[in-house]
Structures are given as structure tokens and as C-alpha cells.
Amino acid sequence: MRLIFKQRLFSWFDSYDIFDENGSPVFSVAGRLSWGHRLEISDAAGSYLGMVKEELFHFLPCFQLWNAECCIGNVRREFSFFHPVYHLDYQGWRVEGDFMAWDYDVTDASGRAVAHLSKELFHLTDTYVLEIAEAQDALLVLMIALAIDAANCSSQGG
């Protein structure tokens, strides 16, 4: 499954549109007023699916992932040299980025590829391509991509 993740150009808070490979809308993400990032995810019909919420007062970025009304885990940036690494306390998944922090691989506890996230360059707003191995993991992979984008935005001061 392939999803295209595009940040909206004009909005007060972070907001994104997520499309499938045919250009049809799949998800919508709206930033909400909050201390730290708070990104609410809806399906194409506007039904609430979950949220990515930044936890404050951590040395490195940390985000809670909410599926409907349940917290299903956290994404934490780990201290590392040369390339970003994130730990996801959900089924032992791990996220590792390249040196430039443009590409990320998501693997499960056994090292099997779950998804690949690629940041596309030369766009006015943040744009990612999410290559997802299993369609049922799409929402969680989207949450991971949102957390990474928010962490990168915070670390760059914007």
C-alpha cells in the first residue's frame, strides 16, 4: 500500500492530507491548540480515528499514539549519532532514518520491513511517501510519520 502525505500550505496549525496512489483522499489530519503538537486523524468521511500527541518535558522528542480513545504506545527519539532512531513501544517496532533524515525504515521485532517513509524534496510543504507492507498498518504508520515530522519540526525550531 502506498500513501502520499502532504502538509497543507495555509493553516494556523499543522494540518495534512493523505492520499492513496490514485490521488483519492484516505485520511485528514488537523492540528489542535495544545502545549506541544496535537494532531487528530480522521478518515476520508471525517470520522475520528486517533491522535498523535507530544509529551512535554522530555530531553528528546516523545509522542503518544492514540487509536480512538486508547493510548496504544509511544514514539521516542533515541540518542544516536549520524542518523535518527526512534523506538516505538508497540509490538517491538523500530524506526531508523538515514543520515539526512529524509528516509526512514520501520521494522518489526524480528527485523521484517513494515514500512518505508521517504521525504520528497522540492515541495513548498512537507511531503512524504509511505510504502506500507500490510494495509492494516496504514493508520499506525501514518501516526509514526506524523510524530517524526513533528519531531523534526520541533528540532528545527519551527
pLDDT digits (tens, 9 = 90+) for 137-157: 999 999 999 988 888 775 544
Radius of gyration of the chain (CA): 14
The per-residue pLDDT for 119 is: 84
Alpha carbon distance 24, 85 (integer Å): 31
Per-residue pLDDT at 2 exceeds 70: yes
The per-residue pLDDT for 48 is: 96
132: Cβ contacts below 8 Å, ≥ 6 apart = 1, 2, 3, 114, 115, 138, 141
Alpha carbon distance 74, 52 (integer Å): 9
What mean pLDDT is reported for the chain? 85
pTM: 0.86
List, in sequence order, every residue forming a beta bridge with 20; answer none if it has no partner.
3
pLDDT digits (tens, 9 = 90+) for 86-136: 888 888 888 888 876 679 999 999 999 999 999 887 766 678 899 999 999
Q: How confident is the model at residue 69 (pLDDT cuts 50, 70, 90)?
A: confident
Sequence spans of domains, the chain: 2-76+114-155
List, in sequence order, every residue forming a beta bridge with 120; answer none if it has no partner.
127
Q: How confident is the model at residue 158 (pLDDT cuts 50, 70, 90)?
A: very low
Per-residue pLDDT at 40 exceeds 50: yes
Phi-psi region of 85 (alpha: psi -120 to 50; beta: other; left: phi over 0): beta
